[in-house]
Amino acid sequence: MAKRRDKIRLTPEELEVFIDEQKSLQVATINQDGTPHLSTLWFAVVDGDIVFETYTKSQKIKNLERDSRIALLLEDGLEYDKLRGVAINGHAELHTDPEMVHRYALEVMARNNPDIEREMLSKAAEGMALKRTAVVVKAEKTISWDHTKLGGSY
């Protein structure tokens, strides 16, 4: 008999589609005192990695400079039998070179603003790159669930 966890796990294809459907990414880093720091960000997938960019002076970047461990959560569903999600643990690679930040910022902006011309987004990303750090998440552990696969049984 298959374990419940095995029944609800997303296949690699389902995982890719699920991530593509999501808009916001929950990001957890570790504060200096060991407590979690949570925030929500827009993101993109570049070369198979989840990426985002944020202000270099932000708490999450300060935390990642000290400890590169990071946890991500993407989820949806409002009723138990419709809950779906993916939790990712890994390490963050930080990029401060303006060209690299521009590259990742442009992908995040393009993903979340599909109706705006890429050239306009590129100019905006160029300005953002001067004060921001790009984060590339190198996933080490991924856990997923899709309660719709249970067919209403618990």
Name the class of domain 4-149. Answer: mainly beta
Determine which helix (DSSP H) or strand (DSSP E) holds 18, and give its type and residue range.
Answer: helix 12-21
| pLDDT tens, residue order, the chain (154 aa) | 567 677 889 999 999 999 999 999 999 999 999 999 999 999 999 999 999 999 999 999 999 999 999 999 999 988 888 899 999 999 999 999 999 999 999 999 999 988 989 888 888 888 888 899 999 999 999 999 988 888 766 5
Phi, psi dihedral angles at 97 (to 5 degrees)? -60, 125
Residues 6+ apart with CB under 8 A from 30: 36, 37, 63, 66, 67, 69
Q: What predicted TM-score, i.e. pTM, was given to this entire model?
A: 0.91
Tell me the Cα Rg of the chain.
Answer: 17
Listed by start position, the domains of the chain span 4-149
